[in-house]
Amino acid sequence: MLSERVGCIDAGSEYCPCYLAETNDCLICSHLQGKSFCDCNWSGVCIYQNFYWYGNKKSDIRTVVEGRIIEKKKVHEEIVIFKLKCTKTLARQLKQPGSYVFLRDPEKPYFFSVPMSIMDSDENTGEIHIAVQIIGPKTKSLLKCKEKILIKGPYWNGVLGIKNLKTTKKENVLIAARGIALAPSVLAIKYLLKNNNNITFVIDAGKLGMIFVNDYIKDLPLKTIQLNFKKEEGIKEFSNILEKGDYSLVYSAGSDRFHKRVEQAIENIGKNMKFVISNNSHICCGEGICGSCSSKTKNGKVVKMCKCQLDAKAVLEGRKVNG
């Protein structure tokens, strides 16, 4: 079951208070949950006070902007890398690890919006890079975009346990990523390097069989190791790396089953390491409203994983994921 200690990725940002404050469903503030007392554990600027100053209304909402397609490069049968021009402000907001946007073909209705991680972002040029694996109706529609693409963002909850990642400085860090989840690893690597961490990047090319992030990591000071988590010897090699490396943080980017394998390897060697994972929830509105990303907490409370920060282990336990 999931732990009860929830955080909100948007708390204190320019998008707080949100719709959930207006409906008395704020994840953090007890007043904005309809209670008459204050018992939040939020140490930033009071969310209730901000709500009051906004005239008992939410703050501004994220808008849809038209992005220009600078480049659309098919690097694999199933993967297309989009280089998009947006505003410099949006590119800066999307530098955080876990950042993602909703992309949509301008010719298609709103329900074609699809969450996509930011692989790289340049605030000086206002450019963002996104790797899209073409699977079903929403991603196929992106492939048809020629000059423009609609971008809605910034959203940040692509990493669960983000506080652990952001507070890790001058440590040994291990990042394990598989398949299309190599894409969000790039921002995390850049952030961790800025905080003077030593990084070992364990890459599993997955079913795609291709390491499409090479151009993004080739000049970075990190150690890369390639292995296959689906093979016994791959898991063994991974356990060896974990055992020898004195890592204080492990970031797993892949499916929930992949996370579980990484988690089990950590548990087997019995060392204490911070564990963070990519967020694999089904995200549709990203605003805590539609409910597609809902998970139940230990006490049966429904939380929206597009907004909610929960402990990575508790998330996997709640979803009853097997390795």
List residues binding ligand FAD (CB under 6 A).
Answer: 100, 114-117, 130-133, 135-139, 158, 180, 183, 279, 281-284
254 binds, among ligand FAD, ligand FES, none (CB under 5 to 8 A by kind): none
How many residues bind ligand FES, per CB under 6 A? Answer: 12
SS3 content of the chain, % helix, strand, coil (to 5): 30, 25, 45
290 binds, among ligand FES, ligand FAD, none (CB under 5 to 8 A by kind): ligand FES
Q: How far is the CB of 31 from ligand FES (least distance, A)?
A: 22
289 binds, among ligand FES, ligand FAD, none (CB under 5 to 8 A by kind): ligand FES
Alpha-carbon dihedral angle through residues 191, 192, 194, 196, given to the nearest 10 degrees: 180
In the chain, DSSP assigns E strands to 7-8, 64-74, 79-85, 100-104, 114-117, 120-122, 127-133, 148-155, 159-160, 172-178, 198-204, 223-226, 249-253, 274-278, 294-296, 302-304, 308-309
- Whether 16 and 8 have beta carbons less than 8 Å apart is answered as yes
286 binds, among ligand FAD, ligand FES, none (CB under 5 to 8 A by kind): ligand FES
Q: Which is nearer to ligand FAD, 164 or 279 (CB)?
A: 279
x/- string (CB under 6 A) for ligand FES, residues 281-300?
--xxxx-xxxxxx-------
Burial class of 218 by CB neighbour count within 10 A (0 to 12, 13 to 18, 19+): exposed
Check binding of 27 to ligand FES (CB under 6 A): no
Q: How far is the CB of 281 from ligand FAD (least distance, A)?
A: 6
- Applying CB under 6 A, the residues found at the interface with ligand FES are 283-286, 288-293, 304, 306
